Amino acid sequence: MTSLFTRLQPARKFRISKSAIAQLLNIPKQLIVRVECWKYVVFVHRRDRGGQFISYRKLQQWLNA
């Protein structure tokens, strides 16, 4: 897994929008406070549940790469 992350570098190269995260989580995008791209996961701060971690592998950009 690490060599794949090193080659793709999702934290640097993927442009992740709030609308894409909202679509993945099936929530309105107004509930998302901020999105932080960490090395191996995406941190989503939500108004209703607090923080949530999402794997890059669940994102559409990962499937396209």
| Residue range 32-62, pLDDT digits in tens | 999 888 888 889 999 988 899 988 877 766 6
Q: How far apart are CA 65 and CA 53, in angstroms?
A: 21
**What pTM does this model have?**
0.74
Label residue 27 by pLDDT band (50, 70, 90). Answer: very high
**pLDDT of 10:** 56
Q: Which two tokens stand for residue 23?
A: 């679509």
Please count the helices (runs of H) and the strands (runs of E) in the chain: 4, 3
Q: Number of structural domains, the chain?
A: 1
Label residue 30 by pLDDT band (50, 70, 90). Answer: very high
Eight-state DSSP code of residue 58: G
Q: Which two tokens stand for residue 13?
A: 């190269």
Parent domain of 16:
2-64
